[in-house]
Amino acid sequence: MTLERRNNPFDSDMARRVRLDGIRKAALDTGRNRLLVTGVMFVLAFAVISGRLIDITILEQGSEPRVAQSEGVTGSTAARADIVDRNGMVLATSLPTASLYADPFDVLDAAEAAAKLNRLFPELAPEGLVERLTSKSHFVWIKRNLTPDQQYEVNRLGIPGLYFQRGERRTYPHGRLAAHVLGLTDVDGRGIAGVEKSMDRVLRAGEAVRLSIDLRVQSLFEEELAKGIRDFSAIGGAGVIMDVRSGELVAMVSLPDFDPNHPATMVADTGFNRTTKGVYEMGSTFKLFTAAMALDSGKVGLEGGYDATHPIQVSRFTITDYHGKRRWLSVREILVYSSNIGAAKMALDVGTERQKDYLKRLGLLEAAAVEVPEIASPLVPAQWREINTMTVAFGHGIAVSPIQMTAGVAALVNGGFRFEPTVLMHEPSLMPAGTRVLSEKTSQRMRALMRLVVVAGTGKNADVPGYLVGGKTGTAEKQVNGRYQGNKLFSSFVGAFPIDAPRYVILAALDEPKPNAQSMGYATGGWVAAPVVSRVVARMAPLVGIEPVTEQREREAMAPVQAVYRVEGARAAR
C-alpha cells in the first residue's frame, strides 16, 4: 500500500524563516567586517599623523627649526619691552623685522643662489654662502634683521629654499645719547651691557623700565662736556647729575661713547663707562669730605684753622700747596685756597680710624650699587698709615668713581643723608628715606663753604648769574707705570645748586685736558671743568623749573663770603 505525503503549510513557513535568518546573518557579518576594516584604517591614519607630529615637534626641533621662535624670550612670545626716560620718552624699543634663512635641501643651484645674494648683500662672501647653502642641515642663517626693502628684494630673486623668520630688532631712537646707561643687546636680543643687561629679565618678560634719566638734561650735558673736551683737547670726560633728595641720576655721561644701533662702534675706549667703571684720584674735591668729617666730629670749628706756612715732610714725601699763602689758614680759607697742607693737618686731627669710618659711611670705600653691570671698586691704601691719612685728605692715594664722588657730595649738602645712586626712577609713594651720615648743622656749614669756594675761591668759573652754585675744584696727576705725570691730569669740579636749598649735585671731569690761551695756560679743574658746570646749570635750571634767585636770597648766600673778608681784613690791619 502506497502512502502519499501531504503538503504541510507549517513546513513552508519555517523554511522561509530559515532563509531570512541566513540572509540577515550574512548582512550583519558583512557590516561588521566593513566597520572593522574602516576602524583599522582610521587607527593607522592617526598613528601616522601622530608619529609625524612627534617627529617634527620633538625629534627635529633642535636641528631643523621651521617655525619662527622668540629667541630673546625663553618660553614666551612677548616682545622685549621699552626703556623710557623719567618723562616717558622712548630710549630703547623693539621693532618687528625679518631674518633670512635657507633650507639647503630645497636650494636647486647653490652657486647661482650665492651669486645673486652676494649682489644684494656684498658683505656676504660668495664662498661662505655656497658653503652654507650646501650644508647637510635643514636650517642655516643667511642674514639677520633685514629691512622691508631688503626683504622685498630677496623675494624678487625667486630663489627656491629661501625663507624668512619673523623677529624683532632692538632700536635706540636717540643714537649715542645715554649709550653707556642703556647698553645694548646681542643679535638674539639678549642684554649684554648697561641697563639692557642688568634689567634683562624684566625687559624679556615684557615689562617696561622707566629710568631716572632726563633725556633733555642728558643731551645738554653731553653737548657741554663734549665742548669742554674739544676746547682743551682732552682724551675723554665724565659727567654725573644726581637728585640729592632721592639718589636718582638725572644724567650720566661718559665720552667718548658709541652708537648702540651699530655695535661695531663699541670698541676700545668708546665702550668704557668712565662714570662707573673708571676710578680716579679726584684731587682737591676730597677736601670737602675732610672738612665735613672734621666739623662733624667737633675736631675743629669754622673759625679754627691750621698753620700752612711750611710744607710737610714725611719720610720721602713732601706735601706742599699750589700757590700757597704761607701762613695760618682758617677752615674756610683751606677750602677757598685749596690748601693741601691745611687739609692734611685737619685729617690728622680727625684720625685714621675716624677718617675711614666717615669715608665708608659716605660710600667711598666700596663699589656703588647702581643698576649697571659696569661697576669698579675703589682703590684704597692696602695699609692705611699716617701718610695715607694725610694724602687721602686732599684726594691722593685713593681712587673712586665719579658716581661715588657725586653721591658722597650729595650727602654733604642734603642735610646729611646718604642715598644709593640709582638710574631707575622711584615711585613717588616709595621714595627712599636715606641713611644719616652727618648732622644737619654740618651740612649747613658745608653748603656755606661750597658757596664760598665759587664766589671767592678756585671755583669762580662755575658761578652762574641768577643761580646759587656751590662746589669745589679738583686736579690730580695721573699715575703711569707707578709714577705721577705732571702733564697728565684728571681735572674736575663738583657742585650743588641751588646751594641754599640743594636739588642737584653736578660733577664734570676732563681726562688729560691740555691748557690753552683761554685757560691762561692752566688745565686745572677750576679752568677746564668749572665752566662746563656753569653752562649746564644755566641751561638745565629753566628745564627743571628752578627760578633765578631773588636779591634777598643772594644777600643771604653772600654772608659767609663777607665773614671771610672781614677776617682777612682784620689780619691785614694787624
CA trace torsion 420, 404, 414, 507 (10° rounding): -130
What's the angle, vertex CA 559, arms to CA 558 and CA 565, rounded to 5? 90
In this structure, what C-alpha cell is assigned to residue 23?
Answer: 540572509
Give, in order, the Cα–Cα distances in Å from 420 to each of 198, 361, 424, 431, 554.
Answer: 16, 11, 11, 12, 32
List b or e across 202-218, with b for residues whose CB sees 16 or more CB atoms inside 10 angstroms: ebbeeeebbbbbbbbbb
Instruction: Single out the catalytic residue among 99, 212, 284, 519.
Output: 284
Give, in order, the Cα–Cα distances in Å from 105 to each of 108, 139, 166.
Answer: 8, 9, 21
Q: Are 291 and 395 in contact (CB under 8 A)?
A: no
3-class state of residue 441 by DSSP: helix
3-class state of residue 251 by DSSP: strand
- CA-wise closest residue to 452 among 511, 500, 518, 380: 500
Handedness of CA 224, 228, 234, 237 (dihedral sign): negative
- CA-wise closest residue to 79 among 194, 263, 179, 207: 207
Contact residues for 309 (Cβ-Cβ < 8 A; gap 6+): 326, 327, 328
The answer for 60, left when phi > 0, alpha when psi is -120 to 50, beta otherwise, is alpha
The DSSP line for 131-166 is HHHT-SSS-EEEEEEE-HHHHHHHHHH--TTEEEEE
CA count, 13 A, side-chain hemisphere, 526: 17
The DSSP line for 271-328 is G--TTTT--B--GGGGHHHHHHHHHHHTS--TT-EEE-SS-EEETTEEE--TT---SE
- Note if 284 is an active site residue: yes
The answer for 206, left when phi > 0, alpha when psi is -120 to 50, beta otherwise, is left
- CA-wise closest residue to 282 among 384, 364, 405: 405
Give, in order, the Cα–Cα distances in Å from 540 to each of 72, 208, 422.
Answer: 38, 27, 20
Give, in order, the Cα–Cα distances in Å from 360 to each of 83, 223, 275, 286, 289.
Answer: 33, 34, 19, 14, 11
In this structure, what C-alpha cell is assigned to residue 17?
Answer: 524563516
> Which H/E stretch holds residue 184?
strand 184-185
Annotated catalytic residues are 284
